[in-house]
């Protein structure tokens, strides 16, 4: 691909739209959002369950329109009154002017920037982590309501277990301990999404959407000719269960995360974004994850172009969608 792209995936067709509808239920009338004008469509009827509304919207889309929604820049469906949406925004330690969804170039010129996550995590203070998440969620919604954002999906937190100090992005993570990383993930996500720090989660409304990344066993950038795009992590089943997956399990089960990002690397020969056992059996099945899954930038393309796992680019797309 000529430019860095993410592919947003859905194991069940309405998953992306579930997130969007939950976000838009709480939004003010000024920013563009679906059903802004009177409509008789079922997906605009707030009295109906979100799953029913999402299913109705999917049923009205043509095949071409469905395909168009799979990228990180989803075009408008004007005939249904559905506006364009940009999925990619960043907020690892504060709402960032990165990605494509946030534009801090209007009346709002900046958002609060907190310390790098590895420093914040060293406080061992879950209430602090939660409060930071709360501020990020509130400021994200504020930027959106001010018309300076085209999406409310933020690709944070980074909860990879930081086991190799040569990885240049380790400062984005809470560190090397799976238990602490899992606790950070849960309370940070709860803060961003507008939930209480503990107790039951009402997932019908989202202040903003958090995404747990990069799933899984990922902490290598470029070492002795091995890049993050080609890296094949050899991990035992026990080490996956004890070390690398617990933070993501906590992010989903305890935090109620609405997004997961699969990583560039392979795990035991299988690209994570094409791993049905990882994405469908583990995340959706064992952990009851009901949000959207996105690839990292170009992580679908490299399944063919770099890793040679798929025989053709079309096969890479098919492998990922099936997974």
Query: How far lies 40's CA from each of 64, 81, 175, 205, in Å?
Result: 24, 12, 50, 22
The residue to which tokens 């909860």 are assigned: 159
The residue to which tokens 């930081």 are assigned: 162
Query: How far lies 13's CA from each of 46, 48, 69, in Å?
Result: 20, 18, 11
The residue to which tokens 């803060």 are assigned: 191
Terminus-to-terminus CA distance in the chain, angstroms? 22
Backbone angles phi, psi at 123, to 5 degrees: -75, -20
Catalytic amino acids? 296
List CB contacts of 225: < 8 A, sequence separation 6 or more: none
Contact in structure between 205 and 149 (CB atoms under 8 Å): no
285: left (phi over 0), alpha (psi -120 to 50) or beta: alpha
Helix (H) or strand (E) holding 318: helix 313-322
């Amino acid at each position: 691909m000529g430019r860095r792209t993410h592919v947003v995936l859905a194991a069940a067709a309405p998953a992306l739209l579930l997130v969007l509808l939950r976000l838009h239920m709480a939004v003010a009338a000024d920013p563009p959002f679906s059903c802004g004008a009177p409509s008789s469509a079922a997906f605009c009827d707030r009295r109906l369950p979100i799953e029913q509304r999402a299913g109705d919207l999917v049923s009205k889309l043509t095949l071409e329109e469905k395909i168009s929604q799979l990228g990180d820049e989803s075009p408008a469906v004007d005939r249904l009154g559905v506006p364009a949406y940009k999925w990619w925004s960043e907020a690892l330690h504060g709402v960032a002017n990165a990605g494509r969804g946030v534009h801090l170039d209007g009346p709002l010129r900046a958002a609060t920037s907190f310390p790098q996550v590895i420093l914040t995590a060293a406080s061992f203070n879950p209430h602090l982590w939660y409060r930071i998440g709360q501020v990020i969620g509130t400021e994200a919604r504020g930027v959106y309501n001010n018309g300076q954002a085209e999406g409310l999906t933020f690709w944070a937190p980074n909860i990879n277990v930081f086991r190799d100090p040569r990885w240049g992005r380790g400062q984005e993570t809470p560190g090397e301990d799976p238990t602490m990383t899992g606790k950070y993930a849960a309370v940070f996500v709860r803060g961003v999404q507008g939930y209480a720090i503990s107790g039951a989660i009402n997932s019908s409304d989202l202040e903003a959407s958090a995404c747990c990344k990069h799933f899984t066993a990922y902490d290598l950038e470029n070492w002795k000719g091995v890049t993050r795009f080609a890296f094949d992590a050899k991990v035992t089943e026990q080490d996956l269960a004890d070390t690398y997956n617990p933070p993501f399990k906590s992010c989903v089960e305890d935090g109620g995360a609405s997004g997961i990002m699969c990583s560039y690397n392979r795990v035991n020969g299988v690209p994570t974004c094409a791993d049905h056992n990882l994405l469908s059996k583990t995340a959706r099945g064992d952990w009851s994850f009901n949000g959207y899954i996105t690839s990292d930038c170009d992580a679908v393309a490299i399944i063919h172009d770099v890793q040679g796992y798929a025989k053709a680019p079309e096969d890479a797309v098919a492998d990922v969608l099936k997974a």
